[in-house]
Amino acid sequence: MSDLSLFFGQFLRRPSEIRAIAPTGRATAREMARLVTPDMQAVAEIGSGTGTITEAILNTGLPPERLELYELNAAFCQRLRDRFPGTSVHNLPAQEMVNVGRKNLDAVISGVPTLPMPDELQAAIVGAALQMMKPGAPFVQITYGPVAPLSEAVRKQFGLTHTKSQRIWANLPPARVYVFRQQA
Ligand SMILES: C[S@@+](CC[C@H](N)C(=O)[O-])C[C@H]1O[C@@H](n2cnc3c(N)ncnc32)[C@H](O)[C@@H]1O
């Protein structure tokens, strides 16, 4: 089955978890992976879906053994294991990385749809990531919405500043990439 069919089929089953009808486009995936470099020691991607962003991350030259993937959906996890041998695929919510993941992450790349989530869930996800990341490392978040994908209250709670990309029109729907960092 193609990635598109698998993605759309799972969207129909679990729309509130997946929140998009198609995988991220290539231009957006490249922007999501822009800050990853081959010398990084540990990177996590959360909400990997069928792996469009994963592929862009690995195309930077990062060895697959240094990439951890967290994905709620079991069918997507099977696709990720088939497509990306060497990566660590966790069929777990991203919040669980504190129990199973590597520390001192150089970056976290997030396809998890944070924008529609309540503040408590946003805080659980970004809080877990920040616990596992090196100080000042980037938390890269995709969004389709018109505002920052982490609420003002959550940004304030963790002392996050951000930059954002131009809107990327070659995506369904058009997307933007935010980079959040915790201030010292
Ligand atoms: C919009 S899709 C993006 C998929 C993929 N990154 C892409 O760009 O094509 C969101 C993905 O996040 C996953 N997801 C939602 N909440 C999650 C959570 N708390 N932890 C891990 N994955 C989650 C969903 O199962 C879904 O695969």
pLDDT digits (tens, 9 = 90+) for 30-62: 999 999 999 999 999 999 999 999 999 999 999
User: Which two three-digit tokens encode residue 5?
Assistant: 């069919």
Residue 16 has pLDDT above 90, yes or no: no
Return the CATH number at 123: 3.40.50.150
* The predicted structure's pLDDT at residue 61: 98
Residue 18 has pLDDT above 90, yes or no: no
CA atoms of 110 and 32, how far apart (whole Å): 8
Residue 100 has pLDDT above 90, yes or no: yes
| Structural contact between residues 162 and 148, judged by C-beta atoms closer than 8 angstroms | yes
* The predicted structure's pLDDT at residue 54: 98
Q: How far is the CA of 18 from the centre of ligand 1 (A)?
A: 6
CA atoms of 102 and 84, how far apart (whole Å): 18
Question: Do you find a cis peptide bond into 174, omega within 30 degrees of 0?
Answer: no
> By alpha-carbon position, which residue is closest to atom 5 of ligand 1?
49
* The predicted structure's pLDDT at residue 20: 79
User: Which two three-digit tokens encode residue 141?
Assistant: 């978040």
Report the nearest atom of ligand 1 relative to the CA of 29.
8
- Does residue 51 line the site of ligand 1, with CB under 6 A? no
Biggest CA–CA distance in the chain, Å, is: 46
Residue 22 has pLDDT above 90, yes or no: no
Arithmetic mean of pLDDT, 168-173: 91
**Distance of alpha carbon 102 from the chain centroid:** 16
User: Which two three-digit tokens encode residue 122?
Assistant: 């946003």
Range of the domain at 142: 3-182
Binning pLDDT at 50, 70 and 90, where does residue 175 land?
very high
Q: Count other Cβ atoms within 10 Å, centred on residue 154.
A: 23
Arithmetic mean of pLDDT, 134-155: 96
Percent residues over pLDDT 90 in the chain: 83
**Domains identified in the chain, total number:** 1
Concatenating the DSSP letter of every residue in 43-56 gives EEEES-TTSHHHHH
Q: How far is the CA of 156 from the centre of ligand 1 (A)?
A: 24
Local structure of 142: helix, strand or coil: strand
User: Which two three-digit tokens encode residue 108?
Assistant: 């976290």
Supply the mean pLDDT for the chain: 95
Arithmetic mean of pLDDT, 103-125: 97
> By alpha-carbon position, which residue is closest to atom 12 of ligand 1?
47
Percent residues over pLDDT 70 in the chain: 100
Local structure of 103: helix, strand or coil: coil
- Beta bridge partner(s), residue 168: 175
